[in-house]
Amino acid sequence: MKAFAYVNAANEREALAALDAQRGRALPLAGGMDLVGLMKNYVAQPVRVVNVKNLDKTITVSVTGARIGAAATLVELIEHPGLSKTYPALTHAAEEVGTPQIRNAGTLGGNIMQRPRCWYFRNEEFDCLKKGGPRCFAVDGENQYHAIFGGGPCHIVHPSSLAVPLIAYGARFRVVGASGEREVDAGEFFELPADNLMGETVLRPNDLLTHVTLPAASAVKAATYEVRFKQSHDWPLAIASVALTMDGARVKSARVVMGAVAPVPWRVPAAEQVLAGKTITEASATEAASAAVAGATPMSQNSYKVQVARTAVKRAILRAAGIQTV
């Protein structure tokens, strides 16, 4: 690992000043679950890391919505009674992340901002597109965990499980940086490689994600379902979150989002349209799940992910409606 300086910021103002003093060469450090690995592999080489764990970690839930500080740990999310009652699709996704140790140290902000797990990107020996190199090694290489949507030219999948339900709930992210503060819709926060090859989000160097807000969800039925190769210490093969706004027994409107299948959390309006106006049954869930994966373009070794994603969507829909799934 390259030598670096450590700044322990007491608050947002200090964190921004510490980042700004090393423009483009400093990085925020939250739980370190992701960043330290990147630094050990020389993929990230900041000259300074700025501790942001002392920043906002409060969680408030009311009838008008919720607000979660980016420094809140995943365990704090999971154990918050109001959050798990009103936003179960979010806390369920957090419960499945990694291991107890990772959930204890990992933060909401770090989870959303974690970099892709693509083994070519993470390996210092591969000079891939995302590191300024000439090609995506997944195209002719080991691509069994890569994208089935998104169109390249880099075929990473987005790693954050929490981003998926956050988009399904219609969350907004507050971002602050040298040019001031702004709020970004969670669905517009993540960027495809075709638009932003070197990064994954609209955050610019030295910007901080400070907190997330969620709209009221007491009338929303939502759930997350994920399929994993290993039950622990791993990322999902596919994950889906579904949020259903009901009109009696029928779906008034739906939001369906898949994760681990594209370089960004992948919202599927085609599946949402299938559900609108229907009651949730095995048949309508199956039809929506098929619509969700209809446009998939698998690579040489990952066509199995189409069926895995279809199953995740179907079971998330049934679970949201309170229908028993396996």
Ligand X SMILES: Cc1cc2nc3c(=O)[nH]c(=O)nc-3n(C[C@H](O)[C@H](O)[C@H](O)COP(=O)(O)OP(=O)(O)OC[C@H]3O[C@@H](n4cnc5c(N)ncnc54)[C@H](O)[C@@H]3O)c2cc1C
Give me the least distance between CB of 268 and ligand X, in Å please.
20
Do 174 and 213 contact (CB within 8 A), yes or no?
yes
* Residue length of the chain: 326
Task: Kindly tell me which of 114 and 302 has the beta carbon lying closer to ligand X.
Answer: 114
Query: Given the complex with ligand X, which of 91 and 284 has the nearer CB atom?
Result: 91
Binding residues for ligand X, rule CB under 6 A, total 33
Looking at residues 226 to 285 of the shown chain, list those that interact with ligand X (rule: CB under 6 A). 233-236
SS3 201: strand
Q: Measured from the CB atom, is 116 or 275 closer to ligand X?
A: 116
Please name the residues in contact with 216: beta carbons below 8 A apart, sequence gap of 6 or more: 63, 64, 65
Q: Which of 7, 9, 18, 31 binds ligand X (CB under 6 A)?
A: 31
DSSP 85-147: HH-HHHHHHHHTSS-HHHHHH-BHHHHHHPPP--HHHH-TT--BGGGT-SB-TTTTS--TTS-
Quote the least distance from Cβ 252 to ligand X, whole Å. 30
Which of 65, 69, 109, 265 is the binder for ligand X (CB under 6 A)?
109
Return the residue of 110, 141, 152, 265 that touches ligand X, per CB under 6 A. Answer: 110
Please name the residue ranges forming H helices in the chain.
12-20, 35-40, 74-79, 81-86, 88-95, 100-105, 108-113, 119-122, 163-169, 186-189, 269-275, 282-293, 304-320
Least gap, CB of 309 to ligand X (angstroms): 16
- Asked whether the beta carbons of 22 and 43 are under 8 A apart, the reply is no
Q: Which residue, 266 or 284, has its beta carbon nearer to ligand X?
A: 266
Rounded CA separation 315/286 (Å): 9
Of 70 and 316, nearer to ligand X (C-beta) is 70
C-beta of 52 vs 291, nearer to ligand X: 52
Please give the C-alpha separations between residue 325 and each of 52, 78, 226, 313, 322, in angstroms, as whole numbers: 39, 22, 12, 12, 9
Give the one residue of 33, 268, 308, 309 binding ligand X; rule: CB under 6 A: 33
Q: Is 69 in the site for ligand X (CB under 6 A)?
A: no
By CB under 6 A, residue 136 contacts ligand X: no
Among 68, 70, 186, 244, binds ligand X (CB under 6 A): 70
Write down the least CB distance from residue 246 to ligand X, Å. 28
Cα within 13 Å of Cα(2), Cβ side: 15
- Pick between residue 141 and residue 159 the one whose CB is nearest to ligand X: 159
Binding-site ranges for ligand X (CB under 6 A): 27-35, 52, 70, 97-98, 102, 105-107, 109-111, 113-115, 159-162, 208-209, 233-236
